[in-house]
Structure 1
């Protein structure tokens, strides 16, 4: 900023293994969003070593990282990130558009993904007509349509009531039991009961 570098994170050292359900806790401004941007390959501005599948991130090209983001990572956000003018199926299909997958296989993958989140009968529904919980389920279906190795969920229940939040967390647990690594970012300590590992971020430091 204005020619000066600002260190958001300091001395971070952590390991996330395949199959983990990780909770990352921290207040607004603590640095947790910066941390998950790095974990999700959205930001490369850091010093130090980050290994993904035993290979340093710096050894991947930008094209490699774009492909990894598209095929290995599913993102779920608090505001859902859906395109209002599209149907449920069209939103879920978005990660597949540049994959070169034939249309019939795309349709099958979208149907399977929607079935996993309990929305198999909503394919042609406009997302404008969905409840908050249904929208988040569509966002999760979109995140898993590529069969990602891990999901980054940034405050996925922040805009939902307690009952719907529980349903969404149970859905994440179900995906985790099927082998999907979950990285949950939240400021809600009650959600840590769903996690197998917990990291706290405070003033740019990660406390294990």
Structure 2
């Protein structure tokens, strides 16, 4: 599904060129649960931003479903990202003054579907994460674990091809972290969602079927 060949990413810092990713090549297949492991500053977040179509300024080639990403316009990539990628972040990324249902609905706003269909999809997503009765609840009243479940419901509401989970348990206690990782595992095994987990925590690798280790901007086999 995802194929990167000889990807190099550089920034200019204080008039010097800094290499963040150096000649990275990797494949991610449909149905994978991949763990991208690396210390802070290793380049793993830069790598997943690129995979998630948030950054197209790089050298090398990126194929998504055998199509060359660099041939797409920015508008094309926005559409592809909205239809194919779900994002889950450490800080949840929810809008505080909205309800749970309104947050989950956000990826559907530009999908051109009816309000009735939106309501159905939001309800299905919340049921999958164990929050079926929370649709009208204020986000401000939720625990950290509940907030992350809402974020996951939002990530899966448009049936994405893959989910990028960037340190999804970083702000959670150990028991809640186990529950959230089990939820990702269930989505992967039951619903066939491809999961790309980004973490520096080796304990989370037990949930993955494959590990990609990043160190100093390079993939280490």
Q: Match for residue 168 of structure 1?
A: 180
* Unmatched 5+ stretches in structure 2: 1-11
State how many pairs are aligned: 208
Q: TM-score, normalised by structure 1?
A: 0.98
Does 2:62 match 1:53?
no
Q: Please report how far the alpha carbon of residue 64 of structure 1 lies from its aligned counterpart in structure 2 after TM superposition.
A: 1.5
CA RMSD of superposed structures (Å): 0.9
* Unmatched 5+ stretches in structure 1: none
84, 99, 102: which one pairs with 1:72?
A: 84
**Cα distance in 1 between the residues matched to 2:72 and 2:210:** 28
Does 2:118 match 1:109?
no
Matching of residues 189-200 of structure 1 within 5 Å: 189-200=202-213
Q: Match for residue 44 of structure 1?
A: 56
**Cα distance in 2 between the residues matched to 1:120 and 1:67:** 28
Q: Match for residue 44 of structure 2?
A: 32
Q: TM-score, normalised by structure 2?
A: 0.92
**Cα distance in 1 between the residues matched to 2:78 and 2:215:** 30
Does 2:186 match 1:186?
no
**Cα distance in 1 between the residues matched to 2:67 and 2:132:** 38
Which structure would you say has the larger RCO, counting Cα contacts within 8 Å and 6 or more residues apart? 1
